[in-house]
Structure 1
Amino acid sequence: MTRLLRSLLLPVLTASALVGGAGVASAATATVGNTDGDGLTIRSAPTSTASSLGLVWDGQRVDISCQARGQSVTNTRGFTSDLWDYVPALRGYLADAYLATGYDYRIPGVPDCGAQTGRLVPVSQFHGQPNQGEDCGPASVVSALLAAGVTPRSWNASRPVDAINRARSDMGYDPTWNDPAKFGTNESDVQRALARNGVNATVVFNDLNRVLTHVRNGRPAIVAGNMVSLPWSGRDVPHFLTVAGYDGDYLVLDPASQAIVYRASASTLSAYFNHDLGRAGVLL
């Protein structure tokens, strides 16, 4: 089956912290406060620019399963913290600066978000390389390999662009030159780059249930869709991303968004998948 190519993306701002989600069990309880009646926004990721999932109010008690470093937030009393707390019941993050936890920073015994998810490394596609706007496929190859426990060719944690360029080269393209006649990469390209890393991957079309079952069984998948349906993006661009794990939510590494682990429901991934130039998954 011939597939169209993933489309061009413009650079976006990425965060430096690698943060994500942990299990759904409660590890601590906290109380919302100091919002002056405005309420505290629930975020899909540990940053105030992430999509809103609603509000919680002063005095409301919440159960925290893990904590993550993210964007610094200052509350109405002038206290600043870069810590965020994941609340499974809300399926989102709350800024710790607005929570009375009994501690000034981390809560003893509460895990770091990401500590239970394995080697989930968000890899941005934007490093100034000539093809950065088209490198969602190569960047997803790198993050998916890491999630599968395979060290990508040319991997250097301090220079992920080396592994991205190597993956693009493994697809058969020159990473040092942007070819105006070549627009993005496709599923066969992704499969070819994975094979060069010793991973025999299967391409699946029009069967999201098979893709998500594969992830729930403990293996990552690179999934094609359109970013317009992602709550943290909304940009109308065909795209590749990695669905790297499952713990009640699907754990998503999006190379065109912030360098964090996003959490998504099956319905969110269905909207992303069932779109133009989507409907494909590469199963590792």
Structure 2
Amino acid sequence: MKRLLRSLLLPVLVTSALLGGATTATAAPATVGNTDGDGLTVRSRPTSASTSLGLVFDGRRVDISCQVRGQSVTNTRGFTSDLWDHVPALGGYLADAYMSTGHDYRIPGVPDCGGQGGSPVPVSQFHGQPNQGEDCGPASVVSALLAAGVTPRGWNASRPVTAINQARADMGYDPSWNDPNKFGTNEGDVKRALARNGVTATVVFNDLNRTLAHVRGGRPVVLAGNMVSLPWSGRNVPHFLTVAGYDGAYLVLDPASQAIVYRASAATLSAYYDHNLGRAGVLL
């Protein structure tokens, strides 16, 4: 198969929001704390970039139905955690760093909020590594695995570049230097890296309807296209990104951006998809 170029030169700064929720499960009591009176924001998803659903204050007791990994949060006492707690009564998530649950991390017996896999965790490709301009493929592998509820090889939420480099190595490339004769990665490389993480994937060409139906069915996709048709970009560069879920809009994780979840229509993704070196999806 012809080698497909997926290179990218500069990060793009944008903002967005994410809507959604989780299903009710076995409840565990907890208490909000360490907000210094400022209150803790209830979020629609396990990321501080998602929609605010209101505030709760120190001393508020809640019942947690499930827990999930998301964006790392540091509380006012310097404690950092990537765990988020879903509270059905509030309709959203609270950062576990601010919660007194009686446990250092997961609450025994409380399930993962994984009814449709994991949660959308944006992963930037830009960390100063030698191949950062070409690492949209490896970074999309990492974010797609997280969206599928699979911990990527080498994953550390405070240092995602380790998992990105591991994904590049799993593709068969040396992550420690930039080979001028090898630019970007292709769909076969993405599939190979996913397999190294125990995930069997299918590459689908020229069938966006099937690809987006896969996302609506609850599974992520690594989608090939061109950034020139993305409303938050406009750069004429072949690219990989992850479509992590669907809640009435498609939840997009673009490794060329900040750690933000985008909400895109089918029309937006169709425009991105319909380019030379695009028109392909890797279905997890």
| Cα distance in 1, alignment partners of residues 237 and 94 from structure 2 | 29
Paired residues for 1:38-53 under 5 Å: none
CA displacement at 1:259 relative to structure 2: 1.0
The AA in structure 1 aligned to 2:191 is Q
Which residue matches 1:10?
9
Tell me the equivalent position of 2:18: 21
Question: 2:175 matched to which residue of 1?
Answer: 175
Aligned positions of 1:157-236 closer than 5 A: 157-236=157-236
Question: The residue matched to 1:120 in structure 2 has which SS?
Answer: coil
- Aligned residue pairs, count: 208
After superposition, what is the alpha-carbon deviation per residue over 1:166-190, rounded to whole angstroms, capped at 9, x for unaligned? 0000000000010000010000000
Q: Match of 2:174, as an amino acid? A: D
Asked if structure 2 preserves the Cα contact closer than 8 Å seen for 1:144 and 1:244, the reply is yes
Look up the SS of the partner of 2:214 in the other structure: helix
| d(CA) in 2 for partners of 1:113, 1:66 | 9
Query: How far has the Cα of 1:11 moved from its partner?
Result: 3.0
CA, structure 1 residues 204+231, in 2 after alignment: closer, same or farther (shift >3 Å)? same
- Deviation of 1:110 (Å): 6.0
Instruction: Check whether the contact 1:122–1:255 (CA below 8 A) recurs between aligned residues.
Output: yes
SS in 2 for 1:157: coil
Could you say what the CA RMSD is over the residues aligned between the two structures, in angstroms?
2.8
Cα distance, 1:69 vs structure 2: 4.3
Alignment partner, residue 273 of structure 1: 273
**1:36 corresponding residue in structure 2:** none
Distance in 1 separating the partners of 2:180 and 2:140: 22
CA distance in 2, matches of 1:204, 1:113: 37
- Distance in 1, Cα, partners of 2:241 & 2:192: 16
Shift of 1:123: 0.3
Q: 1:23 corresponds to which letter in structure 2?
A: G
Supply the distance in 2 between the matched residues of 1:271 and 1:113 (Cα, whole angstroms): 35
Measured in 1, the distance between the counterparts of 2:271 and 2:263 equals 14
Structure 1 position 266, deviation (Å): 0.3
Mapping of residues 99-114 of structure 1, within 5 Å: 109=90, 111=92
Secondary structure at 1:263's aligned position in 2?
strand
CA distance in 2, matches of 1:128, 1:212: 33
Question: Is residue 6–residue 136 contact of structure 2 (8 Å, CA) maintained in 1?
Answer: no
Moved over 4 A (4+): 65-70, 83-86, 112-118
Once the two structures are superposed, residues 88-110 of structure 1 have per-residue CA deviations (whole angstroms, 9 ceiling, x without a partner) of xxxxxxxxxxxxxxxxxxxx946
Cα deviation 1:1-34 (Å, max 9, x = unaligned): x24423321232668x9x841239xxxxxxxxxx
Q: CA deviation at 1:113?
A: 11
Aligned partner letter, 1:196 = R
Contact conserved, 1:124 with 1:256, CA < 8 A, in 2? yes
Contact 2:7 2:136 in 1 (8 A): no
Confirm or deny: 8 A CA contact 1:21 1:113 kept in the other structure: no
- One-letter amino acid matched to 2:135: D
**Distance change in 2, residues 1:69/1:163 (3 Å):** closer
Instruction: Give the structure 2 partner of residue 99 of structure 1.
Output: none
User: Residue 253 of structure 1: CA displacement?
Assistant: 0.3
Give, as a single letter, the amino acid of the residue that structure 2 aligns with 1:10. L
Q: Which position in structure 1 is the counterpart of 2:124?
A: 124
Q: Letter of the aligned partner of 1:234 in structure 2? A: G
Is contact 1:6-1:240 (8 Å) kept?
Answer: no
- 1:135: which partner in 2? 135
Change (3 A) 1:131 1:172: same
Task: Report the AA paired with residue 271 of structure 2.
Answer: A
1:34 corresponds to which residue? none
Amino acid at match of 1:274: D
CA distance in 2 between partners of 1:226 and 1:113 (Å): 36
Aligned pair in 2 of structure 1 residues 113, 253: CA closer, same or farther (>3 Å)? Answer: farther
TM-score computed with the length of structure 1 as normaliser: 0.67
Alignment correspondent of 1:152: 152
Q: Identity rate of aligned residues, in percent?
A: 71
| Alignment CA distance shift 1:113-1:210 (3 Å) | farther
Q: Is the 8 A contact 1:244 1:251 kept in 2?
A: yes
Inter-partner Cα distance in structure 1 for 2:94 and 2:178:
37
